Structure 1
């Protein structure tokens, strides 16, 4: 008999952790939750101690980056596979996740049985991506192969982060950017944190300065 996949859950929302625990409880013969964490520090401690088969991780952990945590965990525990479970259905996040060492990217609307199947596939060595994102990923990859890069791609910016940076240069507020891109202000803040990190700056003026200096936007 195949032993259940040993999983550690990482999310900064207690309701999400409780919901995942409840969802997976009905599949205890196939998946067993052995720990949960809400911060990067807790996650590193748990994974180092428990050496799970899979870590189910959110892209954002409050002010912390799940992508950075993924790199840390895969470096510390090479046999542990990281799967992102996110609300962000932008294919560029998938590319970033895979570059960070993740073995999967699923959306939080996944049902329990599908999640269990995907975790089992990852534990067996496969890489999984939510089916709704696979087609868009293929299209984006084709564009990249044709050399159709967006401004800031060489700095690791996703296409959406590049859009946010262009609006930042244009002088739009967070509220105005959210309205333009039809997302929440919190999502805009998340994009800003990511692009600040990639541009190695700490604020809006620093990001604008880099964009103008490198001729990304005029």
Structure 2
């Protein structure tokens, strides 16, 4: 009889200054079964950097505006201490924001107006993003 092994879940760090968004995205991810799980949540840049370096998540879902802090400026700082793929999740999904996020090393930009399935698909795709 073949031995079936389950892949470990995708570990996700959520970074958003709005607790309602964190709660909603956490519920969305947890409703998807064992394929991914929220490893931690951060509400500011300092907390995000500390958690990214300490837990080493697979994917970070990062908001652009962290209560006046520039979330995109975190991308190179996160990459300096963590190999996580970054999906920018924002209400400010303009062409300029998208271009800047990708140039800084994000693998995708998803609008907060997108469907939950689009965000989940972006998180899954991020784990296959080339180095």
- Report the TM-score, using the length of structure 2 for normalisation: 0.89
> Which structure carries more helix by proportion?
1
> Which structure carries more strand by proportion?
2
Q: Counterparts of 2:94 and 2:122 in 1: how far apart (Å)?
A: 19
Q: Tell me if the contact between 2:87 and 2:122 (Cα under 8 Å) persists in the aligned partners.
A: no
Q: Is 1:113 the equivalent of 2:105? A: no
Q: Tell me if the contact between 1:44 and 1:73 (Cα under 8 Å) persists in the aligned partners.
A: yes
Greater relative CO (CA pairs within 8 A, separation 6+): 2
Mind listing any 5+ residue stretches in structure 2 that lack a counterpart? 1-5
Aligned residues: 126
Q: Tell me if the contact between 1:30 and 1:116 (Cα under 8 Å) persists in the aligned partners.
A: no
**1:57 equivalent in structure 2:** 62
Q: Counterparts of 1:83 and 1:117 in 2: how far apart (Å)?
A: 11
Q: Counterparts of 1:28 and 1:60 in 2: how far apart (Å)?
A: 29
Q: Counterparts of 2:33 and 2:122 in 1: how far apart (Å)?
A: 15
- Trace 1:169-188 onto structure 2 (pairs within 5 A): none
Cα deviation digits, residues 102-125 of structure 1 (max 9, x gap)? 111001122222222211111112
- Trace 1:195-214 onto structure 2 (pairs within 5 A): none
Q: Which runs of 4 or more aligned residues in structure 1 lie more than 6 Å from their structure 2 counterparts after TM superposition?
A: none
Q: Larger radius of gyration, structure 1 or 2? A: 1
* Structure 2 counterpart SS, 1:29: helix
Cα deviation digits, residues 38-91 of structure 1 (max 9, x gap)? 0111011111110000000001111210111111101211x2111100111311
Q: Is 1:31 the equivalent of 2:36? A: yes
Q: Tell me if the contact between 1:58 and 1:84 (Cα under 8 Å) persists in the aligned partners.
A: yes
**2:23 equivalent in structure 1:** 18
**1:43 equivalent in structure 2:** 48
